[in-house]
Structure 1
């Protein structure tokens, strides 16, 4: 039977008394079990801070090593699976955009962080080399858990403030190829475009249609993207298609034909040629080589 990648809402990871909430913060260890399967996607944001243990965390087509004092970040739509040792320990904060942004005038605030909706579709973890940094983050997570568990009606503003401190502190230490891009002129437009592509990739929208959603001209969108990324809008749309194909090849047992149909490729031959042109190998060889590695 063909297996697709399930998408889970925050309620799938929340305890019964928290079902009405738009967040969950708690200790992460080997005893934390919910009725979900791996790999899967989320429709929410996640910050996973691991203080002990080992293993691997696969996010989309990137495989990252788990080691003490490592923070992983995930945006809605990303596919992932995690394998960890029995002594794994840490903290996890999952939340919806509504929870974080409800009192913020700038609705694009989450896009300002360099580890959410990343331009190059790769968001490596943050690894603390300084023990004091890890201790400070532990304090923030611990305080958030205390606020959540000591009352059936916790202080939401305090929790949002603690989450904001966690995100900003991590952002101040985070290093990536696009860090300067995330602070440059027009970067929010580019990241918003990436967010829209993530939300609409199965609809095969054109550059003009994305520009309409952003209330700008297609020329302005194309010029801004080229200026800040060195890439064309069409190149980014094609890269998203390749990424999604890789996700399905890696994380499901859907046949190549089924994947082509799901992503609205009407021609099987063109689908294979499209993938090979962009990766150098056929979908079948990519799946085999990834499994072997």
Structure 2
């Protein structure tokens, strides 16, 4: 890329104006993304060359560029173009994060870049520039958390501009959608439905397929997700309510107190009474 900033080296994330990046690069406008993911917030018209392909980018667009790309910025002042650079180590905190950065935004087989519009330039400046700088001055952990959230927001907005049929072709996003819907349905039905088959039917997939998806996205089986939900709700009720164990068993849809106690002990190695 250029002389890596201390911020990028230490945190795996940096945000800079283009003119500052060019100055750090000995006034050269050619960069290499190396192993980093890049998002360019364009608030001025500019001419961009990526992997020898030319792109005229109008102000009001966001450009996503994946790792190992040669990039050249032509004839732009750089005051109103911001470069967000981050590593996969910085961004990937969950399976969802991994799916996002390995998506068509950064690995678009039809183009070396992905371009998506944004609506309000002034809002972009306030939310992603001024606000980020305020967090940076206040607290490092807050700053890095805000940076992660800002990147996610930019990506989510850009996903709206990927054709629906292209998103559906990506099996990983189909998995993410189904698993999220499973978790929403589980929140609604966990008291009355404890079998994987119920949730699979709600999603119109087989129980085996649902487990395949949860194992891919969450790293655990659908049955395990259901058990975790029941245990979590059990612990809340045991700790924060005055219900008897029999009442809790009834509230959670178990046939009797003994059934609930056996279930709880099997998965926590403790009796419910020990949680009080």
CA distance in 1, matches of 2:112, 2:25: 27
Equivalent of residue 81 in structure 2, options 84, 90, 103: 90
Please say if 1:167 is aligned against 2:155: yes
Structure 1 or 2: more helix by fraction = 2
User: What corresponds to 1:149 in structure 2?
Assistant: 137
Equivalent of residue 169 in structure 2, options 184, 193, 199: 184
Deviation string, structure 1 residues 31-87 (Cα, Å, up to 9, x no partner): 7522365253421001111212x3310111321113321221110012211113336
User: What corresponds to 1:255 in structure 2?
Assistant: none
Please say if 1:139 is aligned against 2:126: yes
CA distance in 1, matches of 2:117, 2:103: 16
User: What corresponds to 1:55 in structure 2?
Assistant: 46
Number of paired residues? 171
Counterparts of residues 5-20 of structure 1 (less than 5 Å):
8=1, 12-14=3-5, 16=6, 19-20=9-10
Instruction: Give the drift of 1:22.
Output: 0.3
Instruction: Give the drift of 1:88.
Output: 4.2
Q: Could you tell me which runs of 5 or more consecutive residues in structure 2 were left unpaired when the two chains were aligned.
A: 175-276
TM-score (norm 2): 0.52
CA distance in 2, matches of 1:135, 1:171: 22
Q: 1:48 to 1:157 in 2, by over 3 A?
A: same
Q: 1:117 to 1:151 in 2, by over 3 A?
A: same
User: What corresponds to 2:115 in structure 1?
Assistant: 125
Please give the root-mean-square deviation of Cα atoms over the aligned residues, in Å.
3.1
Structure number with bigger Rg: 2
User: What corresponds to 1:105 in structure 2?
Assistant: 95
CA distance in 2, matches of 1:149, 1:83: 32
TM-score (norm 1): 0.49
Deviation string, structure 1 residues 74-124 (Cα, Å, up to 9, x no partner): 1001221111333641322110011111x2134632346432111224434
Higher RCO structure, 1 or 2 (CA under 8 Å, sep 6+): 1
